[in-house]
Structure formats: C-alpha cells, structure tokens
Chain A
Amino acid sequence: MISCLPLDLATGALLLWLGLGLSGLLLGGWPTLACRLVFPLSSMVALLLTTAGFTALTATPDHLQLRGPLPALPWSFQIDPLSGFFLILLGLLACAVALFATGYFRSLPGPALRRLMLQYHVFLLGMGLVLLAANAFTFLVAWESMALASYFLVVTEHEKADSQRAGFLYLLIAHLGALAILLGFVILAGATISQGGPFSAMLHAPLNAFWAATAFLLTFFGFSAKAGLLPLHIWLPDAHPAAPAPVSALMSGAMLQIAFYGMLRVDFLFLGKLAMWWGPFVLMVGLATALFGVLFAAVQTDMKRLLAYSSIENMGLIMVAFGLALIFRAHGLNALAALALAAALYHALNHAFFKGLLFLGSGSVLHGAGSVAMDRLGGMIRQMPQTAFFMLLGTLAIAGLPPLNGFASEWLLLQAFLLSPALPQSTLSAVLPLAASGVVLAVALAAYAMVKFYGIAFLGQARGTRHAHEAGRWERSAMALLSVACIFLGLFPGVLLNLLHPVLQEMLGQGFAIQQGLWLTPVSAQRASYSPVIFFLGMATALGLSFLLIWSFFGRPLRRVPAWACGFPIRTPAMQDSPMGFAQPLLRIFAPLYQAERQANDAGRWRVRIGEPVYRGIYQPLNRIVFWLSAQVLRLQQGRITLYLLYSFLTLLILLALWR
C-alpha cells in the first residue's frame, strides 16, 4: 500500500483545504481568531501537499476512481512525477502565501473575510484538483472551479468599477479558453469522452496530421488564455492588481504555471508525435509575449500592474523554453529537449517564488504606505527596512542576476539555445541563436523594469506617503521564507535538476545528466559550467576583503550631509524621476508600440497614458465585427409569429433533406 501514499496524501490535503474553507465560513464571526487559526493551518496543509508532490516524484504513478454525478462520468484522479512537480510548486507557494494571509487579512471585516476564506481555499482546491485530474470531466470541472473561485477573488473589492471590469474580462477570456480546451479534449479522446474516458485513453492518441494540429492549436489557445500569452494576455494586467496581494501571488505564481502544466501534459503525453512547426510556433509566441510583457512592464506606474506585465514576460520566457523543447523533441533530440524542458520547469518554479515574493511585498507596501501607485511612493527602504530587503532579493532574482535563481534558469535556457547546431535543419539552427538574442533583450529590459520597480518605490525621497509602517511578523516571515527559497534555488540548482529527473524521464524518456554537488554542468564541464556557490563565495570574499582593507587603511567615520545634487539649492521629491520619467527613453524608442498620449490633468501636471496596442488592434475590431454580426442577425427577428414558424419549418425541411 506504500505506492498508494502520494495520491492519498494529496487528496487528503485537498479535502483538508476544503474543510478549512468551510470552517472559515463558520468562524467568520470572530475575524482575529479565524485568521490566526485557518491560515496557519492552511499553510501546514500546503506542506502536506508538498510532501505528497515529493513522494510522487519517485513513486510509481497511481490512480483513484470515485463515483461521479452520472454513472458514466466518474471522478478520476492520478498522480505522476509531472503532477508531483507542480504540486510541489503549488504547495510551497501556498504555504508562504497562507502565512502572509494570516497577517494581511486580519483587519478584514467578518462577512468579507468569511467569503474570502471560502473562495481562497476553493481556489487552492481547484488548482490542486487540476493537477490530480485523470479524465477530461474531472479536469474541466476542476479547471472551471479554479477559474470561478479566482474570479470571485478578483472582484473582492466589487464595489469598484475597475474590479468589475477586470473580473468580467477575466471571466470572458477564461471561458473562451475553457471552451477551446474542451473541444481539444473532444478531438483527443474521440468517443471515449462521453464515458468519462480517462486520460490514459488519450495517451498518444492516433490522430492524423490535421486533427493533431487542430487539437494542438485548440488546447494551446485554451491554455494560453490562462497563461496570459499574447494576444490573450489582455485580462491579466487588470485582474492581478485588482485581487488582494496574496491572491495575486497565487494567481501569478501558481495559476499561470498550471496552464503550463496543461500544455505539457497535452503536448508531450497525449499528442506524442509532434509536428515540426509546433515548436517554432510556440517559441515565436513566447518570444513576442516576453518582449511585449517586458516593454509594457517598464512603463507601468502601479507596482502590482508592473508585476502583472512582468508575469506576462516570464510566461513568455517559459514558453520560449517550452517551444525549444518541442523543436528538439520533434527532431528526436531528446537529451537536448530535456535540457530545454528543465529550463522551462526550473523557471516556472523560480517565477512562482520571486513573483510570489514581490506580490506579497507590494501587499505589505499597500498596507504600510496606503498605496501601490509608484508616483506616491519612494524611500520605503527607510520606513520598511525588512520588507525592502526581501524585495531587493526578489528584484535581483527576477532581474536575472547571479547568483540568484532567475539567472540560473535563464542560463540553462541560453545553454539549450547554443546547442541548436545539432539540429539537422540548417535554417532553423541559424535562426535559433537570434531568438536567444531576443531572450537576452527581454531579460536585460526586465532588469530595467525591475530596477525601476525597486528604485522608484523603495529608494530616493518619499513622493507622497511620508508615514509608513513595517509589515507585521506573519507577513515578514512569509517573505523571508520565499527569499530563502529564491536564494536556495539560486545557489543549488543541481539539487533541483536532480529532482526533475523523473519528470523529464516520464515526458521524454530521457532525463537530465545528474548534477554533481555544487556544479551546474548541463552537457559537460568542457562545454559549460557554472557554480553559483563558488561564485557567491568568491564575490563575498572579494567584497569582505576590500572592505576590511580599505577600512583599516583609510577608515574614517562617515559624515552625513545634505545631498549635493550639483549645488542646486532646491531639492524636492518631484525633481526625481517619476515612474513614467524613468521609462521615458523606452517611450521614445518604442513610441509606435506604446501609442502614448500626454495629457495635462487638473493640477497642471502632465500625465502619460499608454495605449494597449493589442486591445486596439485586435479586440476592438473584433468587438465591432461581433456587433455588426448581431445586428445582421437582428434582421431575422421581425416579431411576427408566422415568420418564426417559417424559420422552424425551413430548418425542419433542410434537416429532413440532409437526413435523407
């Protein structure tokens, strides 16, 4: 019965989450007690789920079938290394986020807290169930409950018009996506779907090229609606900032990755035989998404909106790695595919941690300073020193700087790109290194955006808010936890890559070279090596030595003086860069993309408004077309009963004619 353990553990943890959500409903009358009790317990349950994920990496895949609403539609669950890995991601993030929530939601009034606790846990449950689902029916029910719960969480502040709009857009696109996934599953499973056909029936589904491509496109569309890929990202920058910080952290850190999980399962395990063009297609979409996301992240003036665009960028990077894996796999180069896929999974995990950390930190700033609008912030490093420190780590990690974790996964991705000469197709192998340069551009601009994020909000002089308080103990411990995770993943990438071995084995039939100790050598030591620990120690030694030497030779106490600022007598916070001012060079260079408009507001200050080119270019025309079509349909509607009867009669005749 030992082999049964991971699945039991995971389903048990999910049931406990449901229980916690329901008990939150009961305990809502005592907000403080409810917060102190439910969220820490939820955090422990998340650890349980993580344990289940870890055991699933090594255990044999396992199934569980329960009776469903209809005899032919059973609930069906399974756990394998792939879902195990994503359970670890979900569990660890949920653990830290629940700790944060303990402190963050303590001031929420009873009824709101009651609703929130239920929705929050149903959201977690939905995500967990998606990972465990073993047939299309279970998967879609879980997928929809995840979407609905997160919709309710997005509209937590439902009295605001912005929240409502964000929620509506999110719901619309989520449903379009779900519809596409359903259709994709129908193609994959064929007749078995109505009998609650298990996923195993879809394994290496025997489809001809056309239907395989259709299934691929439909599922890719559906999952990318959730993952926020271009051009379906439109809901993301509105929805993530509207939700409370812990929910934003979960949505950005975990939910987007679960969409990636769906792609992995469908493309590698169900479709099996990959067409040549899928990889380049995914890679192009990913690269466009990454560049688009980072360019728009750099011009945002709201902390959480900036992070949301940065999530789009990171999903783009993951898609680039995924596309590269598809390319290698399609050409039968499984070892290289394993490298690219490892980079994708590694970056997914990294993103969960640093983006979670940054969203939580911006929640602390919202509570501490009362705003996340960057033109009202500044100098938070003095009022919230600890939060600022954790946020600095998160910023450095997401900006892809060594020796933190963001760099390690991007390093792996670039290594995978440099192996492109192994491809038999010469044009493709020549274009791939250029795509790698595009990735480098995205990463370098991400550093631009994140330096802006940190520098404007935490450094310099305070712009508006002068009084802010440090985050509470729960919040800080949650951020500390995620910071430690970022550092650990940055310093010991080998540990994670060894853990990924069974996942890659399952998907590609080929694992990743086992990593030795402190070294990261994806192919061979001759080819490339990177040792973050030695890197870090070397830098720390050089830093410490130079500090000691200089202090002992030239050390004199520092004198604090007013800033010189080139001798200008007046120095006001408004003389620093505004959030838009910091991005001004980009606004100018990429002017056609941004469609920026300058407007003067009542106070006589200039405001820059950024247009969303995708919204204007795709959604608005689409909107017009739909309205035009519906106006045409309106012509049929004359209001005369006889005419309607005529329609029915004609339909009947046509159907009969076809039937014959």
Chain B
Amino acid sequence: MTAILLEGMQILLVAFLAPLFAGLLRALRAILQNRRPAGCWQNYRDLYRLFHKESLQAEGTSWLFRFAPYGIFGAFCLAAGIIPILATGLPLAPAADVIALVGLFALARVFQVLAAMDTGTPFATLGAHREMLIAGLAEPALLAALFTASLLSRSTSLSVIVAHLEQLRFALHPSMVFAAAAFFMVLLAENARIPVDNPATHLELTMIHEAMLLEYSGRHLALMEWGAQIKLVLYVAIGIALFLPWGIVPAAEIAALPLTLLALPLKFAAAALILALVETLLAKLRLFRAPEFMATAFLLGVIGLLSFFMLGA
C-alpha cells in the first residue's frame, strides 16, 4: 500500500515540480550570464497563462495534432512512475526496464515529430527531421551508457541497478565515469539544451525542438512545454539513479524516506547548477557539428563498455 502511495506521490511530485526545476535552471543561467532572473516560478506563470488561453488548430491538421500533446504528456507521466526517484521497487517499476524506457521516450518523440509534420509548414518539418536525426544518433550513445550500468549490475531494470550500485558504496568504476559523461552529453542533446539546440532561441532556422511547436497554442502548447520540462527532470533523475544513487531506498523502508527527501533536492540543485554552467560556457554548435558531438558521446559510451571489459569494473 505504501508502495502505491509512494508511486503516486512520485508521479505527482515530478509532474508538479518539473516547472520549478526548469525555472531554477533558467534563473541560474541568467545569474551566470549577468542578467536579472525572472525568478524560479516564472514557468508556473507561463503555464497558467497558456492554459487559460484559447487553443487554435491549424487548418488541414488531423487528429494526430490534437492527440500528440496528451500522448506525450501521458508517456512522460508513465516514465515518471517507472524511474526510481524516491524509492526503488515501486509497483510500476518492473513494467519497463531501461530499454523500454528509452523506447517510451522514443514513442513520445515520434508523436511529437508526426504532429509537427501534420501541420505541413516548412519550419515544423525542418525541426522534425532534425529532431529525428539528433535522436537517431543519440540513442546508440544513450544505450551504450545504459549497457555499461546494466552489465555492471547484471540487470536492465533501473530499480535493480540502483539497488546494486548503492551496495557498492563509493567504489570507483572507471566505466561508470565514462558512461556518466556519455549520458550527460545525451541529456543535453535530447532535451534541446545548448550545444545542440537552444531552448531560448527565436530564430526559426536554427531551431529544432521549438520549431516543432510553432503551430501549438493555448493548453496544447502548455502541455507540450510542461512535457518537455518533465522530460528534462526525468533525464536528470535517470542520471541521478545511475551515477549518484545513494539515498534512494527500497519502497518498503519508509523510515528512510525523509533522508531521501532531503538528499533529492540537493542533487537536483547541483544538477541544475552544472547544466546552467555548461550552457553558459558552451556555444551552440552548427547543426552539422552535432553529429560529431553525438559521435563523441557514443565514443565515451563505448570506452565505458570497453573499460568495463578491460579493467573488469
């Protein structure tokens, strides 16, 4: 019973705190770039405003256009139930392992891309094929990083991986260091962060993610934006689960929950700081340098796999 409650709590926490995390990231970035931040809560205000606006549907679009925001949001909510964020061994966790989780993200992406193509506008289709390209090149790197973790813990279930890595305490695994680097690069690429895409851009020709949302408005746009924020939190949560798992306890040990609730915000804040730093220090790459970026991520993942076999850890 507590497990089910925890599960519900985790999904709701992720869904409702995701805008805060994204807001924090924005604020930190503004501070680092010597701008005055709009405050951590700006994303909530944005979402509120969008939800209360009228939604428009472009002429000539089909049901896919309307379905996609809900489909994407639903997919991310399910993912929020599968990743061990508060605790391992949640009831939904065995329904999908890391590979299925990657599949779930891919499903959400395909719906987004199809919805963009549904509008039949030039920039949306431009964004669509770029998104598929980046994702197509990022996926091998992502799985190479995840394979390293699952080879180490002899399981592809995130819950089991977390439990196993926690047991190892602070043992240093070179392979995991590489996997972490690869994962971080994929995180940047998949969440339309700076070296690959610019979340704050308003120049159509350079956009990837934003270009696909151009025809959305009102509640549909709100859902899309919210979904993207949840996705970022989920990626950070996977990163934490794989590379900083300490503090995530089995669902049965309810007593340790306060500790988790204390450690988690710290970890997320640290992640936000790192992301903000990286986005401040790096410049956006040309689109055709992005494959090199992904190739480097893939390479790191591969070195991770190889050093697992070469060094035995």
- Chain A contacts to B: CB under 8 angstroms: 378-379, 381-382, 385, 388, 392, 396, 399-402, 407, 411, 414-415, 418, 421, 426, 429-430, 433-434, 436-438, 440-441, 443-445, 447-448, 451-452, 454-456, 459-461, 519, 525-531, 534-535, 538-544, 546-547, 550, 553-554, 556, 558-566, 568, 571, 573, 575-577, 581-586, 588-589
Contacts and interface: CB of A to CB of B under 8 A. Distances in A.
A436 B147 contact: yes
Contacts of B204: 566
Contact of B139 (A402, A441, A543): A441
Contact of A451 (B61, B99, B113): B113
Given A411-B100, A448-B136, A577-B129, 9 more contacts: A434-B144, A434-B302, A441-B139, A447-B136, A535-B96, A539-B104, A544-B74, A588-B288, A589-B288
Given A433-B151, A543-B70, A561-B59, A573 B120 contact: yes
A542 B199 CA distance: 26
B102 to A, nearest CB: 8
Given A527-B155, A558-B57, A535 B100 contact: yes
B277 interface: no
Interface centre among A379, A392, A434, A444 (most CB of B within 10 A): A444
B135 interface: yes
Interface size class of B (residues with CB under 8 A): 35 or more
B122 A565 contact: yes
Given A451-B132, A589-B288, A565 B125 contact: no
Interface in B105-163: 106-107, 110, 113-114, 117-123, 125-126, 128-130, 132-133, 135-137, 139-140, 143-144, 147, 150-151, 154-157, 160
Given A550-B219, A561-B56, A402 B309 contact: no
Contacts of A576: 120-122, 125
Contact of B58 (A385, A437, A526, A561): A561
B100 to A, nearest CB: 5
Contact of B302 (A437, A452, A589): A437
B95 A530 contact: yes
Instruction: Tell me what chain A mostly uses at the interface: helix, strand, loop, or mixed.
Output: helix
A106 to B, nearest CB: 29
Contacts of B302: 434, 437
B256 to A, nearest CB: 22
Interface centre among A452, A539, A584 (most CB of B within 10 A): A539
A336 to B, nearest CB: 14
A546 B223 contact: yes
A433 B100 contact: no
B100 A440 contact: no
Given A400-B103, A433-B147, A441-B136, A585 B110 contact: no
A437 B140 contact: yes
Contact of B125 (A388, A421, A447, A460): A460
B125 A577 contact: yes
B157 A529 contact: yes
Contacts of A401: 103, 106-107, 110
Given A558-B66, A565-B122, A589 B59 contact: no
B107 A565 contact: no
A525 B94 contact: yes
Given A459-B120, A539-B75, A585-B130, A418 B150 contact: yes
B310 A430 contact: yes
A608 to B, nearest CB: 15
B275 interface: no
Contacts of A575: 121-122
A231 B106 CA distance: 31
Interface stretch (B23-31, B47-55, B237-245, B258-266): B47-55
Contacts of B123: 565-566
CB-based closest 3 A-B pairs: A543-B74, A460-B120, A455-B117
B174 interface: no
20 contacts: A400-B103, A402-B103, A407-B103, A430-B310, A433-B147, A440-B143, A440-B144, A451-B132, A460-B118, A525-B94, A527-B156, A539-B75, A558-B66, A561-B58, A563-B121, A565-B119, A565-B214, A585-B130, A589-B288, A589-B291
A519 B157 CA distance: 14
Contacts of A566: 121, 123, 204, 214
A451 B288 contact: no
Contact of A418 (B71, B114, B151): B151
B78 A379 contact: no
B288 A381 contact: no
Contact of A447 (B77, B97, B132, B144): B132
Contacts of B156: 415, 418, 527-528
B93 to A, nearest CB: 9
Contacts of B118: 381, 455, 459-460
B215 A546 contact: no
Contact of A584 (B78, B129, B298): B129
Contacts of B150: 418
A411 B97 CA distance: 10
A215 to B, nearest CB: 34
B223 A550 contact: yes
A571 B58 contact: no
Contact of A529 (B62, B94, B103, B140): B94
B21 interface: no
A530 B98 CA distance: 10
B133 A438 contact: no
Contacts of B64: 381, 392, 459
Given A407-B103, A460-B117, A542-B78, A440 B128 contact: no
B178 to A, nearest CB: 13
A451 B110 contact: yes
A560 B59 contact: yes
Contacts of A411: 99-100, 103
Contacts of A563: 58-61, 119-121, 215
A445 B157 CA distance: 25
B291 A543 contact: no
Interface centre among A392, A401, A584 (most CB of B within 10 A): A401
A537 B71 CA distance: 13
A437 B182 CA distance: 13
Contacts of A399: 106, 110
B61 to A, nearest CB: 8
B281 interface: no
Given A401-B110, A559-B56, A382 B78 contact: no
B306 A585 contact: no
A444 B140 contact: yes
Nearest to A543: B74
A143 B103 CA distance: 39
B293 interface: no
Contacts of A426: 309
A546 B136 contact: no
Nearest to B101: A402
Contacts of B110: 396, 399, 401, 447, 451
A564 B213 CA distance: 11
B199 to A, nearest CB: 18
B81 A538 contact: yes
